Structure 1
Amino acid sequence: MTGIHGANPDPLILIDDHDGIAVISLNRPAQRNALRYESWSELSAALTSASEARGVVITGAQGFFSAGGDLKTGPAHGTGPMGPAGRVEHAQRVMEQLRSVSVPTVAAVEGAAVGLGWSLALSCDLVVAARDAFFSAPFVTRAVVPDGGLAWRLTQQVGRHRASSLLLRGSRLTAEDAHHLGLVTDLAEPGTAVDGAITIARSLAEYDQGAIELTKRLIAAAEAAQLAAFHPLELAVATVAQQRSASEAARGQWSR
């Protein structure tokens, strides 16, 4: 695999070509592939560089998809009124880029997809998960709010009450249960999710690419208006939550 910025000894994103299928890996294994602001920038560059691929697989290095947003760096980036949620806004844009990729995109989940990492996986067309993987959204337990469109997507997919349970309690959802709910399209044996995702991407690459792109456009159109309306609200709420969390932490009322 190669880093998206070439000679960088510690690339945040790796990209590898598997006979025309671009495998893009989050590459912070020591941090369970937690996502920094720069991770999203490198992911965006990787998606651009994979524009000629026949399929794209998104995964995490060393058997773990992603622990979500990096709590040590926090979501703040830049200045201005929306600065406290700068990473959230950046992530929204990159996930929009991912959804607009013209070829099939497949998330390959080993270990777990947590928080913003779960949002990233659900932004792909298909989700392959190892049978021992799990998903969770522990935002509230960390004194923040769901981001990456996860509250909207879960509510649309599993209904208000199940989404409320997942988001308010932050409980784990097994791969088997996620598959039953339609949040995972394919199950794989542990350690084989990436291979399974590549196989699926290759099989789809044999179909008419024009038909695939147009079908993806139809699917995107069905959700675009609602998600586009939801994103500004999510960003505003994330900004308020981050400011409140920072204020309360400064007063010693809780720690994250």
Structure 2
Amino acid sequence: MKTWLVRCLLGGLILSTPALAQDEDEDPYATPDEESSRSSDDDYNRPEPVDQTDEFREVSEQEGEDGDFQRMSGLDDPNLGVAVELIAGALLVDSSRGEFSDNLLGLGVRATWEFGRILDNEALREALWADLRWTYGGLSDGTAFISGDTSLHYFTIAPAYELKLGKSDFGFFAQAGGGLAYQATSITVDADVTKVNGLKPVLQGGVGFRGRPRLTSSGNLRLAFRVEALAFRRGYMNDFFLGGSLGTAF
């Protein structure tokens, strides 16, 4: 009898379902409606995220020495935006003899400054620049008895806008400016020399292709070159320059 009773008790313990530990927050006697109400109260009491967009916008708009944020445009660019180039090409001078032009060898030098770097605009940093240019051409004609020597000097300042080819160091440009043209003429008749000098306003305009590839991977020294077609309006005369330039930029 005792053996049968012990066996019954052991069988009941084995077949009984183990009690699982419940979560501390769970109420075993709570109804489904009470559980839903408790979840809603927890969501209501949870703090909402704070929108700091306006605060960051106000701080980022602060400028000047007293502002916490200053625009960093150009600080990672070591270039000064200055270039010096030697010019060579064909100078087509308006002919006084009724021909299309007197073709001369045009030589000169120019200095370029990328003044767009002083503007706080990333798109205009290398797109705006200006040239300070001197172009020279000389012409001689006549006979052994009478001859004339003429030299032309163009001094111009011309701002330009360049359309960059993506993120590269190359682009197409258009420019327009003005300055002065100085003409010195010497007329020789036998042994007598007569000099005639004149100064006229000149307008300059043209288009071209410009490049500034790096010469070193770490430094800021660049090769500056240009291919261009320019027109000079010298008084009532029209002169043209077809050529290019080569120099350095830094």
TM > 0.5 between the two? no
- Larger strand fraction of residues: 2
Structure ranking higher on relative contact order (CA contacts 8 Å, 6+ apart): 1
TM-score, normalisation: structure 1: 0.18
Greater helix content = 1
Q: TM-score, normalised by structure 2?
A: 0.18
